[in-house]
Structure 1
Amino acid sequence: MAESDDLALPALPTPSSFPFPYPKPYDIQLQLMQVVFRAIEDGKIAIVESPTGTGKSLSLLTSTLTWLEQHEKRSNEGFINGLREKLRNDDPDDPDWVIEHSLQSKLNEIQQIQELKNERLQKARERERKIKRNPNLGLNKGLVSKKAKTDISLGNEKGSHMQEDEFLPDDAKENDERDNDQGPYLSKEVRELMNKYEASRPKSAPEEVEEEDVPKIYYTSRTHTQLRQLTSELLKTSFPLSDSSSDNENTDNGNVEAGPSKGISLVPLGSRKQLCINDKVRALVKNGGDERLNEACLDMQKSGKARCEFLPSKSDEGIMLDARDSVLASVKDIEDLVMIGRKSCVCPYYATRRAVKQSQIVTLPYNLLLQKNAREALDINLKNQVIVIDEAHNLIDTLLSIHSTTLTSTTLLNAVSQLQQYLSRFKNRLKSIHSLKIRQVLSLLQGLIKVCQIFLYDNDNGRDSNGLNNKRKGQVKNEVLNANELMERVGKGNDQLNPIDLVNYLKESKLARKISGFSELIIEQNASKESKISKSATQRHASIASLHIVESFLLSLVDAREDGRVILSREENNGNQIMAIKYVLLNPAERFKEIVEEARSVILAGGTMEPISDFLQQLFPSLPKDRFSTLSCSHVIPKENLLTQVVCVGPRKTEFEFKYSNKENVVILTELGSVIQSTIGLVPDGVVVFLPSYAFLDKIKVAWTASGLMSKLGDRKTLFFEPQTSGDVESTLRDYALAISSGHANSISGEESKKTGTLLFAVVGGKLSEGINFSDSLGRCIIMVGLPFANVGSVELQERMKYIENLPGNNKDSSREMYENLCMRAVNQSIGRAIRHANDYATILLVDKRYGTPRIKNKLPKWIGEDVKIQNDFGSVAKGIAGFFREKREKERGFK
């Protein structure tokens, strides 16, 4: 953790109360706010679990922003005292009144700067009010009208060398004067989310003071949807910047304070895809994907090119500053920024980035924070800042994912074809150094293709990588290497290949961008000649993106340490055999270490953080225990609103243990069906059954349809199944909710129906197990079937377990612990879907006797695990469910 610059200042005491937006926070909310506040002040790492429905986001915002507010006040006081001391030391003979006069003069200068900033923000709010009052109003329209028409068509064939010269590689000395954020150091995901501060990035006007990077909170979550929800939560608090004149218009005393009220500004960082307002550029998404949009934006900022009409030039710097102030003036989400950007005719993508330094809270997706090169490209400085990572149960998997890269034989062949075509076209115009380096890149790719071919040949002929006979002919699908071993195979017969040198060249020359642009030009020219599109947009994009993927993979090899592996595998794609070379990161701690060392404090928060031991072992293996604050909150619901039972046996006394060997056991499947049939007769409204895999879901569909059980279940409740595609999730949930509402309506109208609600079959880790709320009648019962252990046959999982076993102080128990924790974190996410607010109630059935063992039971969330009832006969289970809902019905009648 970074050393704090305010160590000499007095420590802040933990508040006994916070400016929470509701009259009185729950005890667990107050406890969470105090733990987070103390962790930030003491420079610690906090790992906090607060179940969904307990106001976690509001508690995190209130605690972090309370600390920020008090820290700013403390810093101001420290600054004044320090300045006074400096003036006194500079002139020891000066009397106190002279020192105070000099001090006040300095403070007046600072106040004037702040007043100017406040005036700018007030003007920005005035502009926003005008736009809202007059939707047809367009500010800065002159900015657009004076621009030349933007021509971004790559298919405009002119037949001149001048047009193609833009595809020549950049020289290293040229890149010394421009940003290199488009290099190979960025994964595909990050590349499509950012691309910042290019060569023609507007510089501050001479009169503009260099912006200070003020203390702030970086708040990150998995998706923009979750970050959008955070924005709405912030508006409930007293912290956001607000328009005082607007806020006080309805006051009785008529005293309106001039200028904006003091508060917190928020900047949401998004991608070009989300923020671009140039419709001509956005049209490229349909043809070439997000990367093509990024490249088109960058192309229009090169000298000699038609500049994007929404990005002001240096002479129009005041317009960009107005756009920056508009971002800071009030809390907005991505959609608001786009609307204001369109009305003001200024790019919101660049406006948000100009606003980051002056903002007190910045929201951004995981990838932009967790990857070092993305942070550098975005000019994000984490020194002594506070980082909040929400939904942090995803953190380890996300770190491993964004630092892993897969290269298929198809991608390699596309990249080789593009390089050969490029060399053929430009060989007489390339400088000798570029020609040499491009041929070396080509040789490297051809070496990787040869590795793939040898792997396939050896396995097809029953030989291992050393050429020895292998009895498992036709069964070997994977081989594990480290990065050095792979490069040894690639470099056989070619000692000139230096992957570090080639990665640096690719970054400096921006070769991937040059070749992808040239390749698209050729594709569009050929399509134009043939008067038809020969490839789908998806195929074209995949082909054009090939060299970008190669860059990411080569970076992984260069960056590889002992904590990474290369996996060669045979895969099937549409019936064809292809090879995949995948770099897999095994140790997330080293990549996260940079963040921990820079930041003042890191807060990991989630609804289901248990088992916490995974975070301590895999993210912070070398940090002492006194650097952590941990908290696992209970729920805000009363204990009588939750009934959790472990179902060890079914109605016919068959034991439930859904191991791999039992997956096709007809007796157990039949017994499970009986449990569900009995349960849905006792539970009103919605019942959600979580199954361990899609294969298991398919199996029970077949078995229960054949036996007639599925029909019986459908007579009792309307049946729904997890959809096969993500696009169908919303419609499935809508129909599910409507079916419950219809059941209520029939009950009220007196219509008789056998059906008592709905039954939804979902998969753990699937589309419905995270981020979906089954609150109130949508989820009165959650049935968790078995323990969804990951496939232990997975090569990646095996390598990860071996790596953990070999860490200092670890053994096989350590890898077993990690394996169980993966499973239980998925379980906890799924069963946490049921209880979503203080007045909600539900019952949870854990159908597998292993849930009753201390080792597994202790990995359940504390708000569930404390009162779990282990039932060794199904009669007790049914009795408990019946009594639970009878009590709820009686209570509801009492209220009526």
Structure 2
Amino acid sequence: MYDLILSTNKALDRSCINDHSGYGDMLDDPSLSSSSSSSSLPPLPTPESFPFPYPKPYDIQLQLMQTVFRAIEDGKIAIVESPTGTGKSLSLLTSTLTWLASHQARLETAIETSLRTQLATDDPDDPSWVIEHAVKARMNELHSVQEARKERLMKARARERKIRQAGGNGAFRGVKKVKVGNGSGTSGKSDIKEDEDFLPEDKDKDEEEDGPYLSREVRELMSKYEATRPKQHVEEEEEEDMPKIYYTSRTHTQLRQLTSELLKTTFAIDNDPSSTDPTAGVETEAGPSQGVSLVPLGSRKQLCINDKVRALAKSGGDERINEACLDMQKSGKARCEFLPAKADEAAMLDARDAVLASVKDIEDIVSDGRKSCVCPYYATRRAVKQSQMVTLPYNLLLQKNAREALDISLKDQVVVIDEAHNLIDTLLSIHSTTVTSTNLSNAVSQLQQYLQRFKSRLKPVHALWIRQVLTVLQGLIRVCSKFVEDSKSSTAANGKGKAKAEVLNANVLMERAGGGSDQVNPMELVAYLKESKLARKISGFSEHMAEKAAANEPKTSRSATARHASIAAFHVVEAFLLSLVDAKDDGRVLLSMDESGTTGTPVVTIKYVLLNPAERFKEVVEEARSVVLAGGTMEPISDFMQQLFPAIPIGRFATLSCSHVIPKENLLTQVVCVGPRKVEFEFKYSNRGDDALLTELGAVIQSTVGLVPDGVVVFVPSYAFLDKVKTFWTQSGLFQRLGDRKQLFFEPQTSGDVETVLRDYALAISSANAVSTTGEKSRKTGALLFAVVGGKLSEGINFSDGLGRCVIMVGLPFANVGSVELQERMRYVEKLPGAGADASREMYENLCMRAVNQSIGRAIRHANDYACILLVDKRYATPRIRHKLPKWIGEDVKVQSEFGGVARGIAAFFKEKRARGM
């Protein structure tokens, strides 16, 4: 039905009612546009109830849905906090899709009303039946557009059901995979690189933007055809953007969980043939009749189904996959067998409709793509404009270049950012880039080799720009060499072994590069790099040369990973240069040196650091109709107001901090100020290695594990601290004693081992319970897991029920205040408009407390869960720190001045739970 609204202008141009003057003017009325502001449409009231998938939502769920609905309708920025386990995702989905459905109905009504009013105004002498007849004819024509879309998607669903019921055999269109010939007239030579491929592209040649199917020759023919084509016909073929929700989160795993949550709602159509839901696709008061069209966007690495291209990721990474994919779209090449030619575009449109037909996650779309033999990456891209909801990871939404590459327009759309507690750090991270002196040397070598090979074939403009790029890189190498000399001189003069670091802005860096590089216009340089695709050309040529060298020297000891790192050097350099262009006054360049390399030559790192996330996020805020920031632990919210929205009036915000759904008696939070031997806990960086303090901490943990059943999770401030306690408690025999009560586990060093550790941890807990039910006495009562704040287990992991009956937070994990990068960030915050004298301290504490809140929030995961939380550091007793805990925790924190009170509190808490049979 959304197509109906969006196709109004195009359909009315084809109207049979052409004799009413002023009709075309009416079509330009912004009130008829689906992307117009809410002020030109009748306002939507906030619903008293929502089509929630469960009989009665909790009060906090209803509050969240009403807050989000109202914020979207009023075009506001919503910052909402809803603890994990309170149905946050379902509430966000229900509220946003309810608004979308209501907005669609409002648009249709507005169009019909405006048609009737305009026709009556233009020809007041026309009888009412003539006007009604004209309106009915027009609305019927518009509804036919929706019916056509409905029929397409129903056919796509039917194809899916047929394939799934048949056990997954067969393709959607019944077309066999046929490899496309290389078109070069050579046999077995499809992988041979032609020099023509490595030449820089001219300004008017852009394969990526011109579409995924078109060869160079076809694009040239089309450009000639478009030049002579009537303008109105060109516009008719442009696919318009439907109103939609862009829903983003940190990881693909979190987005996959969102898809499963969406399938619980009345907005989704599940095309599983085993589904017995009688309401799927049925018109109800709860939601739209045809279901929501969801498109999960991902990278080529996630969506590519060409096994040869995917194999490149093992040694070449994402960039190598991108290059190989684009290379296989060129004329005269071995075309990707999964990318339909323009002549068979119907196959791609069928794949697009298959994506839109029912709710799927990326794995489903990849599976369907293999069956239909059509590329899922380009199928999802084609489906975006006709979708009502798009899910995508942070980096694809927050970077302008990524949005442009995916042809994503946020204009008047709704943006929901889940797990938004990470938003500021994510923005700073994805817009910060690093290049080393090794990268620069490799890039210069590649560029010189490239120039030598192609100097006679390069157009003068390309030769000029490539030499200017070479000048800039050589200048940066001189900066690195000078920095090494100065660092060694400073170290020798001061007698200190620590290498110095230096902070400067982008202009100073370019001035130091000298040699004419400071005369290069950075904007023009970056524009050239984008237009010519020089990084792709250089990397492709370098890889070609490396392959030839490897063929001549098969026994080379150089690994494929090391070889690719060298080949990819120019991509790294290009990313750094792109960052410098955006540097302005809200970024800094940090120079540092590492002498620990195996070559003995110091390696200089040049890092561009973004300090102002608001400037990059402003594009999203200004384009979108509404932005919703949601998370389980958004406190402290002051950082978002100060660092992300410094210039936005307070009246444009809607905020909500929900309490938890669990009863208060299911959570016990205590501040442990002292240990059993009266030693005060204050884990400052300077005393974290104090033996007496570690001994006292060990006594607290030993006492606690004797009182708590099942799983206990201990969060420590850093990996270094974890290594210290492991060494100290192993020597003291404490780990032996702890292991007698609970099986011990530690956060793994690599991400790949996380699932194994969690599985074994859960198994140890369930095994202990299984033994106890047989009547046999066992000393072990569960498991004890040591994790690091901000590490692999502190976010996105659920320690629900028996996996986390107690969470012990050791100290406050403050960042290293000696970090040059952190110091620059704190100085920048102090200079923000309205920032007080305490702004940098506030930011420093907020960084710490946000990490704490994420960690302790792992314990309570649903309404019937229960756990105790121990905050082991006397600083948690101060009002300043306590007020930065989540409201659902901070309201009932008990500050214990002696450890006896802590132990009695834990014992009573679990005794009461046993008495209730929990």
Normalised TM-score (structure 1): 0.92
> Counterpart of 2:77?
45
> Counterpart of 1:371?
399
Against the structure 1 CA distance between its residues 150 and 880, is the aligned structure 2 distance closer, same or farther, given a 3 Å change threshold?
farther
Q: Output the CA distance in 1 between the equivalents of 2:310 and 2:354.
A: 23
> Counterpart of 2:569?
546
1:416 corresponds to 2:441? no
Is the contact made by 1:282 and 1:293 (CA closer than 8 Å) also made in structure 2?
yes
1:289 deviation in Å? 2.2
1:156 deviation in Å? 5.9
Is the contact made by 1:286 and 1:537 (CA closer than 8 Å) also made in structure 2?
no
1:817 corresponds to 2:842? yes
Against the structure 1 CA distance between its residues 8 and 249, is the aligned structure 2 distance closer, same or farther, given a 3 Å change threshold?
closer
> Counterpart of 1:838?
863
Is the contact made by 2:263 and 2:269 (CA closer than 8 Å) also made in structure 1?
no
Q: Output the CA distance in 2 between the equivalents of 1:327 and 1:754.
A: 54
1:155 deviation in Å? 12
Equivalent AA in structure 1 for residue 135 of structure 2 = L
> Counterpart of 2:721?
696
Partner of 1:720, secondary structure, is strand
Partner of 1:144, secondary structure, is coil
Partner of 2:838, secondary structure, is helix
1:431 deviation in Å? 2.0
Q: Output the CA distance in 2 between the equivalents of 1:244 and 1:698.
A: 49
> Counterpart of 2:330?
302
1:875 corresponds to 2:891? no
Equivalent AA in structure 1 for residue 620 of structure 2 = I
> Counterpart of 1:190?
none
1:491 corresponds to 2:514? yes
Equivalent AA in structure 1 for residue 745 of structure 2 = F
1:60 corresponds to 2:85? no
Against the structure 1 CA distance between its residues 318 and 158, is the aligned structure 2 distance closer, same or farther, given a 3 Å change threshold?
closer
1:86 corresponds to 2:118? yes
Is the contact made by 2:712 and 2:805 (CA closer than 8 Å) also made in structure 1?
yes
Of 690, 706, 710, 2:731 maps to 706
> Counterpart of 2:203?
172
Q: Output the CA distance in 2 between the equivalents of 1:236 and 1:286.
A: 37
Partner of 2:502, secondary structure, is strand
> Counterpart of 1:461?
489
1:112 corresponds to 2:112? no
1:324 corresponds to 2:324? no
Equivalent AA in structure 1 for residue 889 of structure 2 = I
Against the structure 1 CA distance between its residues 843 and 7, is the aligned structure 2 distance closer, same or farther, given a 3 Å change threshold?
same
1:26 corresponds to 2:58? yes
Q: Output the CA distance in 2 between the equivalents of 1:314 and 1:748.
A: 67
After TM superposition, the structure 1 stretch with the greater mean CA deviation from structure 2, 269-278 or 236-245, is 236-245
Following TM superposition, the consecutive aligned residue runs of length 4 or more in structure 1 with deviations greater than 4 angstroms are 149-159, 178-181, 195-209, 242-251, 492-496, 572-576
Against the structure 1 CA distance between its residues 199 and 451, is the aligned structure 2 distance closer, same or farther, given a 3 Å change threshold?
farther
Q: Output the CA distance in 1 between the equivalents of 2:609 and 2:701.
A: 40
Against the structure 1 CA distance between its residues 383 and 131, is the aligned structure 2 distance closer, same or farther, given a 3 Å change threshold?
same
Q: Output the CA distance in 2 between the equivalents of 1:270 and 1:352.
A: 9
Q: Output the CA distance in 2 between the equivalents of 1:152 and 1:863.
A: 71
Partner of 1:145, secondary structure, is coil
> Counterpart of 1:389?
417
Is the contact made by 2:183 and 2:331 (CA closer than 8 Å) also made in structure 1?
no
Q: Output the CA distance in 2 between the equivalents of 1:569 and 1:753.
A: 55
After TM superposition, the structure 1 stretch with the greater mean CA deviation from structure 2, 794-803 or 408-417, is 408-417
Against the structure 1 CA distance between its residues 888 and 255, is the aligned structure 2 distance closer, same or farther, given a 3 Å change threshold?
closer
Against the structure 1 CA distance between its residues 631 and 531, is the aligned structure 2 distance closer, same or farther, given a 3 Å change threshold?
same
1:460 deviation in Å? 0.3
1:648 corresponds to 2:673? yes
1:174 deviation in Å? 3.1
Equivalent AA in structure 2 for residue 565 of structure 1 = R
Equivalent AA in structure 2 for residue 359 of structure 1 = S
Q: Output the CA distance in 2 between the equivalents of 1:368 and 1:197.
A: 22
Of 124, 148, 171, 1:138 maps to 171
> Counterpart of 2:28?
none
Of 518, 521, 540, 2:541 maps to 518
Is the contact made by 2:714 and 2:807 (CA closer than 8 Å) also made in structure 1?
yes
- The 5-angstrom pairing of residues 228-243 of structure 1 reads 228-241=256-269
Is the contact made by 1:140 and 1:345 (CA closer than 8 Å) also made in structure 2?
no
Partner of 2:628, secondary structure, is strand
> Counterpart of 1:163?
194
Q: Output the CA distance in 1 between the equivalents of 2:295 and 2:403.
A: 15
Q: What whole-Å deviation, never above 9, does each CA across 1:225-252 have from its counterpart, x for those lacking one?
A: 100000000000000246799978979x
After TM superposition, the structure 1 stretch with the greater mean CA deviation from structure 2, 470-479 or 387-396, is 470-479
Uncovered stretches (5+) of structure 1, i.e. residues with no partner: 182-194, 464-468
> Counterpart of 1:17?
49
1:89 deviation in Å? 2.5
Against the structure 1 CA distance between its residues 229 and 425, is the aligned structure 2 distance closer, same or farther, given a 3 Å change threshold?
same
How big is the alpha-carbon RMSD for the aligned residues of Structure 1 and Structure 2? Answer: 2.7
Q: Output the CA distance in 2 between the equivalents of 1:243 and 1:772.
A: 30
Partner of 1:103, secondary structure, is helix
1:145 deviation in Å? 2.5
Q: Output the CA distance in 1 between the equivalents of 2:705 and 2:182.
A: 65
1:8 deviation in Å? 2.3
Equivalent AA in structure 2 for residue 89 of structure 1 = T
Partner of 2:259, secondary structure, is helix
Uncovered stretches (5+) of structure 2, i.e. residues with no partner: 1-33, 227-232
Partner of 2:630, secondary structure, is strand
1:620 corresponds to 2:645? yes
Q: What whole-Å deviation, never above 9, does each CA across 1:736-764 have from its counterpart, x for those lacking one?
A: 01100110111011222211111111110
Of 746, 767, 776, 1:742 maps to 767
1:275 corresponds to 2:303? yes
Against the structure 1 CA distance between its residues 376 and 343, is the aligned structure 2 distance closer, same or farther, given a 3 Å change threshold?
same
The alignment-based identity, stated in percent, is 71
After TM superposition, the structure 1 stretch with the greater mean CA deviation from structure 2, 545-554 or 525-534, is 525-534
Q: What whole-Å deviation, never above 9, does each CA across 1:770-828 have from its counterpart, x for those lacking one?
A: 01111110000000000000000111100000001112232440000000000000000
1:198 deviation in Å? 7.7
After TM superposition, the structure 1 stretch with the greater mean CA deviation from structure 2, 649-658 or 660-669, is 660-669
Is the contact made by 1:180 and 1:507 (CA closer than 8 Å) also made in structure 2?
no
Is the contact made by 1:242 and 1:261 (CA closer than 8 Å) also made in structure 2?
no
Partner of 1:310, secondary structure, is coil
1:286 deviation in Å? 2.9
Partner of 1:174, secondary structure, is coil
Q: Output the CA distance in 2 between the equivalents of 1:772 and 1:610.
A: 19
Against the structure 1 CA distance between its residues 153 and 642, is the aligned structure 2 distance closer, same or farther, given a 3 Å change threshold?
farther
After TM superposition, the structure 1 stretch with the greater mean CA deviation from structure 2, 386-395 or 198-207, is 198-207
Partner of 2:268, secondary structure, is coil
Against the structure 1 CA distance between its residues 428 and 788, is the aligned structure 2 distance closer, same or farther, given a 3 Å change threshold?
same
Partner of 1:308, secondary structure, is coil
How many pairs align? Answer: 865
Of 103, 124, 149, 2:135 maps to 103
Q: Output the CA distance in 2 between the equivalents of 1:54 and 1:350.
A: 36
Q: Output the CA distance in 2 between the equivalents of 1:723 and 1:245.
A: 41
> Counterpart of 1:481?
504
Q: Output the CA distance in 1 between the equivalents of 2:185 and 2:388.
A: 37
Q: Output the CA distance in 2 between the equivalents of 1:56 and 1:533.
A: 55
Partner of 2:40, secondary structure, is coil
> Counterpart of 1:536?
559
> Counterpart of 1:564?
587
1:535 deviation in Å? 2.6
Q: Output the CA distance in 1 between the equivalents of 2:657 and 2:191.
A: 66
Against the structure 1 CA distance between its residues 474 and 500, is the aligned structure 2 distance closer, same or farther, given a 3 Å change threshold?
farther
Q: Output the CA distance in 2 between the equivalents of 1:217 and 1:814.
A: 35
1:771 corresponds to 2:796? yes
1:533 deviation in Å? 5.2
Normalised TM-score (structure 2): 0.90
Against the structure 1 CA distance between its residues 495 and 808, is the aligned structure 2 distance closer, same or farther, given a 3 Å change threshold?
closer
- Which has the higher relative contact order, 1 or 2, with Cα contacts under 8 A spaced 6 or more apart? 1
Q: Output the CA distance in 2 between the equivalents of 1:825 and 1:67.
A: 31
Equivalent AA in structure 1 for residue 124 of structure 2 = P
Equivalent AA in structure 2 for residue 214 of structure 1 = M
1:705 deviation in Å? 1.4
